[in-house]
């Protein structure tokens, strides 16, 4: 009773996408200093995603809209083997400008077999601040160079003129072009595996398997949805404030389960913002897919999933802005949270909400000694929301977050900064029967007056708890410039030069708790205390647990009394 041929093909396609991801990273000049966020996926020749690798799920979620857009303008018969079509345009299918999407066809015996699509995050595509996420941006031009779908490789020959244009508009210079070339070359690896499969099973059979994989997913979801009651839920989540005016931004999501379909309607969401906190349509869709994927973790990300979800994102809104709105700091976590809260009431079981989101920072500038720009970007994952039967995980073990944390050593080797701490924050996980995951704090000193730092907190507001659990701790960015004695906090986005000896402190949000804190198993509270995640005051005051003696053992009776049960 081994796997069926379809299952074998499915895992081979996944392995092909993964291998391409590995090769791309190894062939890219950026890998020498930092981790590269990327994702590859195999599509049928009609443009339906069958399998993706183990790279960033967010980037993978951009690919369906991308491939659809490309095929509309360039039908398959106009794309030749060895062509590589790339774009980063947020108003058609892209995310933010440093994310470059690319697609290339795979042929077998002169017939088109499949498409290999990829998304990769580069460190700089120009714009008014290194990293392309300037908080002051009020139009797309300030965020960098934008290009609609264009062939950078034609039948395997690079368009060096075009590559020169790209290189000239990036602080990474020729490394950008080398990186994009690596993104193309990695396709060869996937192609080899795909050709091998076609040779072994036959062209027609392979195509049928790919369709079957998609159909199986679609059927699994349909079956699952059919068993659930018809629901219509609405949630509103804060997406921070409009930079400048300070007016509140809201994501409103109406999630409806109707038969075997889910619809997500963002009508009622704030209109597009003048600041860079808009989410392009591609980003919005990817966030929705991630939220649904979280509720149905056993379903792979492929066309079967996408076809089960209908998304309505009104034009000119925060979730589907039009030109020339800036898009470099989208409220991804707020969108996911809004959708997840609705899903949590539709699907029983573990749907994580109250996630601390992903904070990020970029350090960039010019190194006169090396006569080149440096630009180092990284994400820091916040505390995970707790779910029924499980505490929110520590950032190091979060499986949904595919981008590894950055390395202090690599950051310091690349940029003139000195990191003073990277620590979990005590009492930051929302209290509950199951505690939210702890927040992380990074603090570093800038050693050069011209270094520019961009940062964002991810979650805009403290993540809420569920079913009586308390909220996680709020996120915070603190910039202090000892030179002029200034210091300020923000929970949104920041770009600036802190100056020599300026200190940047970035604290992610803690995850929301699940269930009433007074229900938490006292032994777990004790363990949290001993592990330094919870303070003695919180142990008694919030969890109602009394610990006594030199070993701080649980005093069962006193605890019951304190909790009002004795």
Partner 1 sequence: MNASNFPLWRACIDSGGTYTSACLLSEDGEIYSVKVPTLPGSPSASAEEALTSLIEKTGLAPGSLCYIIYCTTLALNPVLQGLATKTAILTTRGFGDILLAGIQQTLILPGPTLQRLPFRRRLIFEIEERMLPGGGTFTPLAENELRGLVPRLRDEGIESVAICFLHSYVNPIHEQKARDILAEAMPGLPVTISSEVLPFPGESFRAAATALSAMVRPQLESCIVATYDRIKNWPGKSPGFMVSQSDGSTADVLSSCLVAAGAILSGPAGGVASASLLSAKTGRPNLITLEIGGSSTNISIIQRDKPSLYSGNKAPVSSQAGLPSLNIHSLGAGGGSIAALDANGSIRVGPLSAGSHPGPACCGGSLPTCTDANVLLGRINPDAIITGGPPASAGAALNSIKASLAGPLGISAEEAARRIIASLNSNIIQALRAIIDKNGLDPREYTLVSYGGAGPQHAAEIARECGIHYVLVPREPGFYSAQGALSTVRRSYEAVTFINLEEADPDRIFESYAELEKTALDDFAAQGINASRIIIERTADLRFMDQLLELNMQFPAGRLKKADLSLLGRAFVISFSSAYGFTPDDTGTEIVRLRLTAALDTPNRPSCPGKLTINGLKPALYRKAVFGDDTLDTPVYSRNELYPSASLRGPLIIEQEGTSTLVWPGMSASVDARGNIIISVEVL
User: Is 409 near partner 1 (CB under 8 A)?
Assistant: yes
Question: Minimum Å distance from CB 355 to partner 1?
Answer: 15
Residue 250's H or E segment, with its range, is strand 248-258
By 3-state DSSP, what share of the chain in percent is helix, strand and coil, each rounded to 5?
30, 25, 45
User: Is 435 near partner 1 (CB under 8 A)?
Assistant: no
Q: Which residue number, 269 or 381, has a Cβ lying nearer to partner 1?
A: 381
The C-alpha atoms of residue 515 and residue 475 are separated, in whole angstroms, by: 22
CA distances from 359 to 216, 266, 376, 443 (A): 36, 24, 14, 13
User: Is 74 near partner 1 (CB under 8 A)?
Assistant: no
User: Is 26 near partner 1 (CB under 8 A)?
Assistant: yes
Cβ atoms < 10 Å from Cβ of 230? 10
User: Is 189 near partner 1 (CB under 8 A)?
Assistant: yes
Q: Which of 6, 29, 141, 500 binds partner 1 (CB under 8 A)?
A: 29
E strand segments, 467-550: 476-481, 486-490, 493-496, 503-507, 547-548
Looking from the CA of 269 toward its CB, the CA atoms found within 13 Å total: 31
Residue 452's H or E segment, with its range, is strand 452-456
User: Is 552 near partner 1 (CB under 8 A)?
Assistant: no
User: Is 161 near partner 1 (CB under 8 A)?
Assistant: no
Question: Is 209:198 a contact under the CB 8 Å cutoff?
Answer: no
Q: Which residue number, 11 or 226, has a Cβ lying nearer to partner 1?
A: 11
Q: Which residue number, 23 or 115, has a Cβ lying nearer to partner 1?
A: 23
User: Is 8 near partner 1 (CB under 8 A)?
Assistant: yes
Total residues binding partner 1 (CB under 8 A): 63
User: Is 3 near partner 1 (CB under 8 A)?
Assistant: yes
Which 8-state DSSP code applies to residue 463? Answer: P
Question: Minimum Å distance from CB 436 to partner 1?
Answer: 15
Q: Which of 191, 265, 427, 433 binds partner 1 (CB under 8 A)?
A: 191
Instruction: With contacts defined by CB under 8 A, name the span among 128-136, 191-199, 499-507, 534-542 that binds partner 1.
Output: 191-199
User: Is 405 near partner 1 (CB under 8 A)?
Assistant: yes
Q: Which residue number, 106 or 291, has a Cβ lying nearer to partner 1?
A: 106
CA distances from 282 to 96, 312, 327, 356 (A): 9, 12, 11, 22
Spell out a b/e string for 117-143, using b for 16 or more CB atoms within 10 Å of the CB, else e: bbbbbbbbbbbebbbbbbbbbbebebb
Question: Minimum Å distance from CB 236 to partner 1?
Answer: 31
At residue 480, φ and ψ (nearest 5 deg) are -125, 130
User: Is 178 near partner 1 (CB under 8 A)?
Assistant: yes
Q: Does residue 324 have a cis bond before it (omega within 30 degrees)? A: yes
Chain contacts with partner 1 (rule: CB under 8 A): 1-3, 7-8, 11-16, 22-23, 25-29, 31-32, 54, 158, 175, 178, 181-182, 185, 188-189, 191-193, 200, 381, 394-399, 401-405, 407-410, 412-413, 418-424, 440, 530-533
């Amino acid at each position: 009773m081994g796997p069926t041929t379809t299952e074998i093909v499915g895992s081979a396609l996944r392995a092909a996408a993964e291998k391409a991801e590995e090769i791309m990273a190894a062939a890219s000049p950026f890998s020498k200093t930092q981790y590269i966020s990327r994702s590859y996926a195999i599509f049928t020749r009609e443009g339906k995603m069958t399998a993706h690798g183990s790279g960033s799920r967010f980037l993978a979620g951009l690919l369906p809209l991308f491939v659809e857009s490309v095929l509309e303008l360039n039908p398959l018969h106009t794309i030749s083997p060895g062509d590589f079509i790339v774009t980063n345009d947020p108003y058609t299918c892209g995310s933010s400008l440093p994310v470059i999407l690319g697609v290339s066809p795979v042929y077998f015996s002169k017939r088109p077999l499949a498409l290999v699509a990829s998304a990769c995050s580069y460190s700089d595509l120009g714009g008014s601040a290194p990293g392309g996420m300037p908080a002051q941006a009020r139009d797309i031009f300030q965020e960098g160079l934008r290009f609609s779908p264009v062939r950078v490789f034609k039948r395997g020959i690079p368009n060096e003129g075009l590559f020169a244009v790209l290189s000239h508009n990036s602080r990474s210079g020729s490394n950008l072009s080398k990186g994009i070339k690596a993104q193309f070359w990695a396709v060869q690896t996937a192609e080899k595996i795909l050709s091998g499969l076609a040779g072994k099973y036959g062209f027609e059979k392979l195509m049928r398997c790919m369709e079957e994989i998609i159909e199986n997913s679609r059927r699994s979801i349909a079956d699952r949805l059919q068993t659930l009651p018809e629901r219509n839920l609405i949630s509103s989540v804060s997406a921070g404030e409009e930079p400048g005016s300070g007016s509140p931004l809201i994501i409103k999501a109406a999630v409806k389960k109707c038969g075997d379909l889910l619809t997500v309607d963002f009508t009622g969401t704030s209109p597009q913002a003048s600041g860079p906190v808009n989410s392009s349509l591609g980003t919005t869709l990817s966030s929705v897919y991630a939220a649904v994927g979280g509720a149905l973790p056993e379903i792979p990300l492929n066309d079967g999933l996408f076809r089960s979800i209908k998304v309505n994102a009104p034009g000119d809104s925060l979730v589907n802005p039009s030109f020339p709105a800036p898009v470099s700091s989208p409220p991804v976590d707020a969108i996911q949270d809004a959708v997840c809260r609705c899903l949590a009431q539709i699907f029983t079981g573990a749907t994580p909400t109250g996630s601390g989101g992903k904070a990020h920072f970029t350090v960039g500038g010019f190194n006169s000694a090396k006569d080149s720009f440096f630009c180092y970007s990284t994400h820091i994952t916040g505390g995970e929301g707790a779910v029924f039967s499980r505490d929110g995980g520590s950032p190091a073990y979060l499986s949904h977050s595919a981008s590894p944390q950055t390395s202090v050593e690599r950051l310091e080797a690349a940029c003139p900064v000195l990191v003073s701490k990277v620590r979990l924050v005590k009492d930051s996980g929302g209290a509950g029967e199951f505690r939210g995951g702890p927040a992380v704090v990074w603090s570093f000193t800038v050693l050069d007056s011209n270094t520019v730092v961009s940062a964002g907190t991810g979650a805009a507001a403290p993540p809420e708890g569920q079913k009586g659990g308390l909220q996680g701790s709020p996120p915070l960015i603190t910039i202090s410039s000892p030179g002029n004695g200034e210091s300020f906090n923000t929970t949104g986005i920041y770009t600036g030069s802190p100056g020599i000896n300026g200190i940047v402190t970035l604290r992610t949000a803690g995850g929301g708790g699940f269930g009433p804190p007074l229900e938490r198993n006292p032994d777990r509270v004790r363990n949290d205390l001993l592990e330094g995640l919870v303070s003695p005051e919180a142990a008694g005051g919030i969890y109602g647990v009394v610990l006594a003696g030199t070993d701080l053992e649980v005093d069962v009776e006193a605890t019951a009394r304190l909790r009002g049960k004795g």
